[in-house]
Amino acid sequence: MPRFALKIEYDGAPFNGWQRQAQGQPSVQAAVEAALAKLEPGPHTIAAAGRTDTGVHGRGQVAHVDLTKHWDPFRLSQALNQHLRPLPVAVLACAEVPEDFHARFSAVERRYLYRILCRRAPPILERGQVWHLLTPLDLGAMQQGANHLVGHHDFTTFRSALCQASSPIKTLDEVTITAQTLPNGTEYRFALRARSFLHNQVRSIVGTLVRVGNGAWAPARVGQALDARDRAACGSVAPPQGLCLTQVRYLVDPFA
């Protein structure tokens, strides 16, 4: 059976996350599988690089599926997009891959972007895509706090109590925070890069760094929270709408 990799973009707002829900609630996975079933008799099960939560977006999600027909990848992507309409999900690229390719287990890096818009007026054009805060944040202090998290650590403090990972130990390769001055406010972007992440790790980190940015915490307290290895030491968890899975990398790019 030929195996295909799909690069998928989606707005997470109307979905209960990526993963198919037992209760039949809408999910991105179920939407793509339903589109596949209209092309080949199903049911189909696709595997993804990351199971994004309710309300979290994807710009570079990767999934794979086994089909019976040797589709032309371009035709397959176009046919899927036709059947996905009008849902806010699109297949950006498609490629036939070796049978040992796995969207999740073959991935060597995942990148997330979290966006915060600080201004008095509520977001209109960016509604549902950013975390809206009213007052500016201290960029330098947040970066100082973030630097404590880069490296190989026990991230128990920054993972959900429902996390199913076998170990809280992860290597966080990058946390870079930038700010863009806008006519009526400032947008802060948190770029995080690692081989893999724990459940709610990114949102927990961002929520904690905002405590630093608004002056409630000193930067050094982020390191103290990490060392505590205690969920209670974490700051608040940032809301999902500002988070986007932007890229998944493999040793050989299946879409190159």
Distance CA 173, CA 91 (A): 28
173 is catalytic: no
Round the CA-based radius of gyration of the chain to a whole number and report it: 19
Q: Is 236 strand, coil or helix?
A: coil
Total number of residues shown for the chain? 256
Closest-CA residue to 241 (of 197, 195, 206): 206
- Structure letter (DSSP) for residue 206: H
C-beta neighbour count of 246 within 10 angstroms:
17
Distance CA 235, CA 4 (A): 40
Tokens of 133: 């805060």
Side-chain-side CA neighbours of 85 within 13 Å: the count stands at: 5
**Catalytic one among 11, 53, 66, 173?**
53
Active-site positions read 53
